Structure 1
Amino acid sequence: MNESEQSRAPGHHAARLRRVLAEDSRTAELGVQITVEGAAVHLAGPVASGRHKDELDRVLREAAPEMRVYNDVWVVEADEPGSGEELR
């Protein structure tokens, strides 16, 4: 990270990384919260699979190799629908 990048507000870094995750075909992610604190980026929120969680990590490490990535997203598994709801 050069001096001009270091002087930017953390919000700018978070917005840039949000855009990276949204535009990368491996992630196309808009629902994960991204927080930047110093040289650390924190991810939080639900994702559909463990593979997706791993891809988020990989894409961020490629986009910002100088930052520490803390991937605290959790996997929300969608179960098969149960029996139909009875309406009266």
Structure 2
Amino acid sequence: MKIGFVAVTLLLLGILSPPSCSARSVSRRRRHIWAEWSTWSPCTRSCGTGVSSRNRDCLNNKHKPVRKRTAQCEGPRTETKICNRQVRNNRSYD
């Protein structure tokens, strides 16, 4: 029982780390980073509510785009937003 308490205390203090958090696995996760977002695309509709989007590439440690679906960047590759929304009297109209 006392050994378990000591191990938990060391884990909480950050002195001991679980096996899955080895330095190798942490460095592997940091290999890929996101590039800057592209500019927003033109709205899909010139009149009324449409959609605009932007993308970013996942980059390897040499700052080259990673094309594999297994790229290790966290978060979305694409963002979308509503555009050309017409608002009158706090109501949205298409």
Would you say same fold, with TM above 0.5? no
Query: What interval of TM-score do these two structures reach, taking the shorter chain for normalisation?
Result: under 0.3
Higher helix share: 1
TM-score normalised according to structure 2 size: 0.25
Q: When the two structures are superposed, what TM-score results if normalisation uses the length of structure 1? A: 0.26
Q: Which has the larger Rg? A: 2
